[in-house]
Structure 1
Amino acid sequence: MKYRTVFDIIGPVMIGPSSSHTAGAARIGRTARTVFGRVPKEIIITLYGSFAKTYRGHGTDIALVGGILDFDTYDERMPLSLQMAKKAGIDVRFVESEEIADHPNTARIHLSDDQGKLEVVGISIGGGKIEIVELNGFELKLSGNSPTLLVLHKDQFGAVADVATILAKHEINIGYMQVARKEKGLEALMSIETDQSVTPELLKEIRQKSGMYSVTVLNN
């Protein structure tokens, strides 16, 4: 096994007792917040497997909500996340599922407000590392280790080419790309891992193309 940094061995800088149940959970929550783009009014978190059985003792509930509040793993406000969410008027609910998930450390996060809603499924794979495996019903496999461009768009001719052309114009190399759709001609999702950072100017160019509904970058 190859390690990219020393933190792959000793784990992340964090507040909490467990890299998988606390740091990983915080990163799942923060990824959901980044995609949603704002503070939600309602948070519903469904927990599976080990998460469902131990989330209170390991602080998984605190970490998930802290991430949704945009706290990093080492943020000193993390232990107060539940109180801070309540004070902000955010409705937070946890559901303990008995359903057997593909991975024991799985959380399904539903965020909503008057402007819209989002559902993200993430797993904590150990050492603070995560994978996002579902976004609004689209199956994914996002590690968060590289800048990742998420483009929700109309399933139409030329959409993928438009995005690829803009990336090439800005000299951005694609490391991995996945395109999924629910039904022909409706919504589709591009997830693109890049070797370079994605600039706000590039995001603006993509948003201006026909049929682009939402454009977000993770871990830039």
Structure 2
Amino acid sequence: MAEKSSIFDMIGPVMIGPSSSHTAGVVRIARAAIRILGALPTEAVITFYNSFARTYEGHGSDRAIVAGLLGYATDDERIRTAFDHAAEAGLRYTFQSVGNASTLHPNTIKLNLTGPDGHRVEVVGQSRGGGVIRIVEVDGFGCDFSGALHTLIIDANDVPGSIAFIASVIAHDDCNIATMFVSRKGKNEAARQFIEMDSPINDITLAYLRQLRWVHHITYIPTLE
């Protein structure tokens, strides 16, 4: 039997236009990226690929990405004047475009962000239409998460049993794991786990995971609006 669609599926997200893929999705990619960074950035290098490279100015994707980097939601009226707000906030940004990257999704954006403490991240995201996004790379580690669910990013040593142990801890917190993507540089080298969960994780569980000797860093991203 075909799956039924709701009126919300057909209309799409509440947003500032003109396009869900070129505006709402772009805002959400930036909002995911600043949560990975852990702060609003002070500097951003923004690279648009393929169709985005040809249309980002005309469709307002340039304003949308800057608005998302300022933490604005998809329906925030300030998206239209995001450049002015970025100047007030002291956000420095540069746009780049690559029109022919055949291995990448047509609507791909790469963000190189620097935070106020000098911390840097690189995030690659895709806008899939209807405001839906996929984050497909973080700091060179491949991944695949949407921001629609609660997400953990765990940097840890590639030790035997680590994946099963972390999954067990999360399960004891009554969190159901929806997806898990594990990426590593090489055998027994640094690994990064990307875990999407149906519900929030408790602070005490996060604190326990963070104190494990083979866990280096954990980023928790609650569901994006």
TM-score where L is the length of structure 1: 0.91
Out of 216, 219, 224, the residue aligned to residue 216 of structure 1 is: 219
Alignment of 1:3-152 (within 5 A): 5-101=6-102, 102-113=104-115, 114-152=117-155
SS at structure 2 position matched to 1:56: coil
The alpha-carbon distance between structure 1 residues 41 and 3, as it changes in their structure 2 partners (threshold 3 A), is farther
SS at structure 2 position matched to 1:57: coil
8 Å CA contact 2:143, 2:182 repeated in 1: no
SS at structure 2 position matched to 1:39: coil
The alpha-carbon distance between structure 1 residues 7 and 201, as it changes in their structure 2 partners (threshold 3 A), is farther
CA RMSD across the alignment: 1.8
Q: Distance in 2 between matches of 1:66 and 1:164?
A: 35
* Larger deviation, residues 105-114 vs 202-211: 202-211
Q: Distance in 2 between matches of 1:202 and 1:72?
A: 29
- Alignment-derived partner of residue 204 in structure 2: 201
8 Å CA contact 1:123, 1:131 repeated in 2: yes
The alpha-carbon distance between structure 1 residues 67 and 5, as it changes in their structure 2 partners (threshold 3 A), is farther
- 1:33-92 Cα shifts (integer Å, max 9, x gaps): 111110112100100111111111111011111111111101122222222222222210
- Alignment-derived partner of residue 173 in structure 1: 176
State the AA in 1 paired with 2:173.
H
State the AA in 2 paired with 1:143.
S
SS at structure 2 position matched to 1:197: coil
Q: Which runs of 5+ in 1 are unaligned?
A: none
Question: How many correspondences in the alignment?
Answer: 220
State the AA in 2 paired with 1:103.
H
Report how far residue 2 of structure 1 moved: 3.7
Q: Distance in 2 between matches of 1:65 and 1:188?
A: 31
TM-score where L is the length of structure 2: 0.90
- 1:108-162 Cα shifts (integer Å, max 9, x gaps): 0110134311011111111111111111111111122322221122223343244
The alpha-carbon distance between structure 1 residues 71 and 4, as it changes in their structure 2 partners (threshold 3 A), is farther
Report how far residue 219 of structure 1 moved: 3.8
8 Å CA contact 1:149, 1:216 repeated in 2: yes
SS at structure 1 position matched to 2:171: helix
8 Å CA contact 1:3, 1:9 repeated in 2: no
